[in-house]
């Protein structure tokens, strides 16, 4: 397979200018990263959605910096030729700048990420600016920001009213001005996402935000139906049902062990006959 180089933030900006969609998918470990890179995705996001789809929590809030470092490191090992972004988890960037930068350093130095993603708008612009000035590319995240789910009152589409839309536009511009290299728009109305995409010079990456964003992101476990929520969500498309394939495979294994058809002769190793005879011959 041809070795490719990871994208750069400058190349992603050029893709926006040229109208070339950017593909992003989440991955959390070596195999998901390797398969995503082999499939040709432009950017891998080690999302804190790993709290839901890998660790079995009901939100992203319990995810720790240690969790993120651990999963980022495994992901980067599987996709060394892809631009890997890692999420800063819940409340790791709202305290002192010193603590924030130490967290960023861990994701970059121990995890091997090429950029970090932070949820929020104007209220975190100063933090985005400080991280950017430290030489680290920052990806913003606006709209439905799962780390603020309790404040937002649930997983609701954002930007339906003119007030909400104007606020989101102000937030997007604040993040861009602070130096963000890209911004994820989650569950934003298509009209607003298109407007933000037109107004910003940095790429917008949509999830549930319509087709006019500069790129799209989906959660690995959602697009592959890999043990994620079975309740269909309008913005997710299932491209493969590997959960069913895995369940079927394991079911067959269980049946074959129970019926002693596995291991079969071709899965079994033997001693030479004379050794068998020497060890056990007289004991039969």
Query: Which are the catalytic amino acids?
Result: 186
Interface residues with ligand KIV (CB under 6 A) are 26, 45, 47-49, 87, 141, 184, 186, 207, 217, 219
Looking at beta carbons only, is 43 or 194 nearer to ligand KIV?
43
Binding-site members for 3-methyl-2-oxobutanoate are 48-49, 87, 117
Minimum distance of ligand KIV from residue 56's CB (angstroms): 15
Looking at beta carbons only, is 26 or 92 nearer to ligand KIV?
26
Looking at beta carbons only, is 238 or 277 nearer to ligand KIV?
238
Q: What span, in angstroms and rounded, lies between the C-alpha atoms of 275 and 53? A: 51
Binding-site members are 48-49, 87, 117, 119
Contact 143, 187 (CB under 8 A): yes
Binding-site members for Mg(2+) are 48, 87, 119
Q: Closest CB to ligand KIV belongs to which residue? A: 47
Helices (H) and strands (E) in the chain, counts: 12, 8
Q: What span, in angstroms and rounded, lies between the C-alpha atoms of 45 and 24? A: 7
Which residues, 6 or more positions from 81, have their beta carbon under 8 angstroms from its beta carbon? 3, 4, 5, 6, 37
> 3-state DSSP helix/strand/coil percent for the chain, to nearest 5?
45, 15, 40
As a dihedral over the C-alpha atoms of residue 70, residue 44, residue 193, residue 143, rounded to 10 degrees, the angle is -10
How does DSSP classify residue 140? E
Looking at beta carbons only, is 36 or 49 nearer to ligand KIV?
49
Minimum distance of ligand KIV from residue 217's CB (angstroms): 5
Q: Please state, as a whole number, how many other Cβ atoms lie within 10 Å of the Cβ of residue 252.
A: 12
């Amino acid at each position: 397979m041809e070795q490719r180089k990871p994208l750069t933030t400058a190349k992603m900006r050029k893709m926006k200018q040229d109208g070339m969609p950017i593909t992003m998918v989440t991955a959390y470990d070596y195999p998901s990263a390797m398969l995503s890179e082999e499939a040709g995705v432009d950017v891998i996001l080690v999302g804190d959605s790993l709290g839901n789809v890998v660790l079995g929590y009901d939100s992203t809030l319990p995810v720790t910096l240690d969790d993120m470092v651990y999963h980022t490191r495994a992901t980067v090992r599987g996709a060394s030729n892809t631009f890997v972004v890692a999420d800063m988890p819940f409340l790791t960037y709202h305290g002192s700048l010193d603590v924030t930068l130490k967290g960023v350093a861990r994701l970059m130095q121990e995890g091997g990420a090429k950029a970090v993603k932070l949820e929020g708008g104007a209220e975190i612009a100063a933090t985005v600016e400080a991280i950017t000035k430290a030489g680290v590319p920052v990806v913003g995240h606006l709209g439905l920001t799962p780390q603020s789910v309790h404040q937002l009152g649930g997983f609701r589409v954002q930007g339906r009213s003119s007030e909400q839309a104007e606020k989101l536009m102000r937030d997007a511009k604040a993040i861009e001005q602070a130096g963000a290299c890209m911004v994820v728009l989650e569950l934003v109305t298509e009209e607003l996402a298109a407007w933000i995409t037109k107004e910003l010079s940095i790429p917008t990456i949509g999830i549930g935000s319509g087709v006019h964003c500069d790129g799209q992101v989906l959660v690995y476990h959602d697009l592959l139906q890999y043990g994620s929520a079975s309740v269909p969500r309008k913005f997710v498309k299932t491209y493969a049902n590997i959960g069913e394939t895995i369940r079927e495979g394991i079911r067959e294994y269980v049946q074959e062990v129970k019926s002693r058809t596995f291991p079969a002769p071709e899965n079994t190793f033997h001693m030479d006959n004379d050794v068998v005879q020497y060890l056990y011959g007289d004991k039969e």
